[in-house]
Structure 1
Amino acid sequence: MKRICLLLPNGFEAVEASVFTDVFGWNKEEGDGATELITVGTRPQLTCTWNFTVLPEKTLDEVTVDDFDALALPGGFEQAGFYEDAYRPDVLAFIREFDRQNKVIASICVGALPIGKSGVLQGRNATTYNLSNRNRQNQLAEMGANVLGDEPIVVDRNVITSFNPSTAFDVAFTLLEMLTSTENCNVVKKQMGFIA
């Protein structure tokens, strides 16, 4: 059984988290059933970007990287306090340890920024939010990443990054494929109506 940590900082975007819960939920029921997703919050109660309240199954202080095979990280909004939690030292150390153990790290949109802030993307290919004058992509470049600004999804070894919320399902499917197989991923895509 492959276990995925869906790490939820306060201020995350619900839609970017929900693609992971749905894709891996569908895999549990309609795919090979070989994955389990656990929601892990930076707090016991979280408020999403648009005021949706979430109670994660665990908090960060209750888990270790050894409990998981992969990390999934949605983006969020500065105005909702996303970076206050996403840039916490314990969050950055958690990300670094996933990379040190060569475990898959998948992010959507500005979820790449805490990965960059952790130092994991130094000299590696990546992307992040691509609109609004590419300010977020410039920030990621300042953190040492080689930003491929026009690529919707960038995979560099064990790290998946993407450039805006429109890529969310594709990132979740990429993670599922990396943890299971192309064939299994296609079964789930077909059951969810993404392919005929």
Structure 2
Amino acid sequence: MTKQILIILLLALSIESWSHIDYDKIRRKKFYSSELDTTSTDILRLEKKHAIIYFKKSDIKELINNPVSRDSKFTLPKEVHSDLESLLNSSEQIRLRDWWYDYTEEERKRMFGSDDYKNKDKNHIEDLYYICPDLLHDSKAMIIDKETGKIVTEKMLIKRVNGLMGTIYLDFLLPNKKSIWNIVLVLGE
């Protein structure tokens, strides 16, 4: 009987630890790419500078609808994600391209001839800024390295980085150390 109680207690503690991601405690952590069937699953495709990342729409919806499972510091009211939810409810495959977080203003100006490049993707990517790291952390995303064009099968790294003037952020790195996502944990002066 005590053995069964101990097993139930350990199971309950492990479930509790999986339900929250405390990014403040992460210094270095491994994560992996998953393999998703992009033909039969509703997918959101996000093109970044160094990678193409595929997410299941259902996983994103679950994080929006279940904020308890997320770090409360990064949980926004459901109303904030209303545009993103309507996009996710469409039956077509969603393709977004991130020109804002990965590129500098000089690179955008060189690509588009103007540093005032705007389109509708920016609002959706802003909504995904703190949702996608949860999915990356939990290995619920398929990551394709743009250099090789292949799914990343090696371990990748989440690494805490101290930035300028006290800023602290987490970098999600490919095996070749190129960043595919980062989130700000603490703003500096």
TM-score range, shorter chain: under 0.3
- TM-score w.r.t. the length of structure 1 is 0.26
Q: Report which structure shows greater RCO (CA 8 Å, sep ≥6).
A: 2
Structure ranking higher in helix proportion = 1
